[in-house]
Amino acid sequence: MTTATIAPTDAEIADLCDKAAEIIKANGFNKRYLYDTRQAADGRLVQLCRVDIIGALNIAAHGTPRYAGSPLVYAAERALEKRIDRASLVVWNDEKGRDADDAIALFKQTAAELRAEAAA
């Protein structure tokens, strides 16, 4: 028996991007890994640690910065990648000078453009 996978809608991806932006605002921005492992080692719950752009998507989708094979997260990653001029989100995230404001702006821009495209 096979299970059909329904592709996430643009509205669902936009909502996830908005939630991920709020996660970055609340938790802070991390580079080089999904979440700040030092904070986690000090006893902070991983869902409350600083996160990178993909960790924020993961928390917004399923409550932890770790990957869980979410089609929604994968679709959001693809939507974000279409709006950057780097080889990948990881490269973009970890670039020198990149900060929380940049990540939040990318999430918000992506959400707004997806909603506009869906409304057209």
Q: What is the pLDDT of residues 82-105, one digit of tens each?
A: 999 999 999 999 999 999 999 999
Query: Does residue 49 lie within any of the structural domains?
Result: yes
Query: Does residue 21 lie within any of the structural domains?
Result: yes
The domain tally of the chain equals 1
| Amino acid symbol at 33 | Y
Read off the pLDDT of residues 70-85 as tens digits, 9 standing for 90 and up.
999 999 999 999 999 9
Query: Does residue 1 lie within any of the structural domains?
Result: no
Count the alpha carbons within 13 Å of 4 in the hemisphere toward its beta carbon: 2
Domain range for 106: 10-119
The pLDDT, as a whole number, for residue 6 is: 85
Cα–Cα dist 78/57, whole Å: 12
pTM of the predicted protein model:
0.94
Residue 90 makes CB contacts below 8 A (sequence gap 6+) with 52, 54
Average pLDDT over residues 49-66: 98
Query: Does residue 5 lie within any of the structural domains?
Result: no
Query: Does residue 3 lie within any of the structural domains?
Result: no
CA dihedral 88, 89, 90, 96 (to 10 degrees): 100
